[in-house]
Amino acid sequence: MIELRYNDEACAEMFPLITEDGHVVGRATRAYCHGGSMALHPVVHLHVFDSAGRLYLQKRSMRKDIAPGLWDTSVGGHVDYGETLLQAVLREAREEVGLQLTGEEESFRPLFQYVWQSSRERELVTAFAVTTDVEPTPDHDEVDEGRFFALEDIRELLGTGLFTQQFEEQESRRMLAAWGV
C-alpha cells in the first residue's frame, strides 16, 4: 500500500487512493489529492428529493476552497480512509444538511458513478438519491443556504453560471436523465 503526504502533515485528513473500479491501493492527504496530483480518490453525492419531486440544492459556503458561492448537489463529500461509501454518504448528509438517514429508507438508492477531473483533482463520484419530507437544515460552516428546485427549473438554469462546473457538466445531466427530464 502507498501512503502519500504533502508538506508532511502529521494530523492531515487522509483519503483512500483508488483504481477506477474502486479498489483501494493506498492513502494520501487532502492537500496531496487537491494539489494537482490527480490521484484518484472517492467522493459521494446524495440527491435529496421531496415528495413533490423537487431537488434540494446547496449553495456552497464562501469559505470552500473549490467553487465557493455556487449551487451544487444536495450533499457531497469525500470518503475518509477506512470508511465505506454508505458510511460516508450518511455522515455527509448529517454534517452538511442535518439529515439523520440510515440508508435503509425505502427511497434510498444508488444512482450512478463516474470519474470527475478538474484542473487540481480527480475523483470517483458515487451518487445516491433519497426522497424525504424532512426539511434539510444546512450547517452554515459547510453550506451558505439551500432550497428545493423543480427539475424543470434546474434544466432552464443550466448554463447561467449559477452551478458548480461539476454539477453543470456531469451531475445535473446524469440526474435529469435518470428522472427522464
Residue 178's Cβ-side half-sphere holds a number of Cα atoms within 13 Å equal to 17
- 15-29 residue pLDDT tens: 999 999 999 999 999
Indicate whether 175 pLDDT > 90. Answer: no
Q: How confident is the model at residue 179 (pLDDT cuts 50, 70, 90)?
A: confident
Q: In the chain, what percentage of residues exceed pLDDT 70?
A: 93
DSSP bridge pairs for 109: 129
Q: How far is 123 from 137, CA to CA, in rounded Å?
A: 27
Residue 8 pLDDT exceeds 90: no
Q: What is the DSSP letter of 170?
A: I
Query: Would you state the pLDDT for residue 1?
Result: 65
Q: What is the 3-state secondary structure (H, E, C) of 43-90?
A: EEEEEEECCCCCEEEEEECCCCCCCCCCEECCEEEECCCCCCHHHHHH
Return d(Cα 181, Cα 173) in angstroms, integer. Answer: 9
Answer with the residue of higher pLDDT: 4 or 78. Answer: 78
Per residue in 82-101, pLDDT tens? 999 999 999 999 999 999 99
21-40 mean pLDDT = 94
Question: What are the tens digits of pLDDT across the range 149-170?
Answer: 999 999 999 999 999 999 999 9
The residues near 77 (Cβ < 8 Å, ≥ 6 apart) are 43, 44, 88, 91, 92, 95, 96
**pTM score:** 0.91
Residues 124-136 have a mean pLDDT of 95
Sheet strand arrangement including 2-4: 2-4, 24-29, 14-18
Please report, as a single letter, which amino acid is at residue 81: Y
Q: Which residues is 47 bridged to in the sheet?
A: 129
pLDDT for 13 equals 87
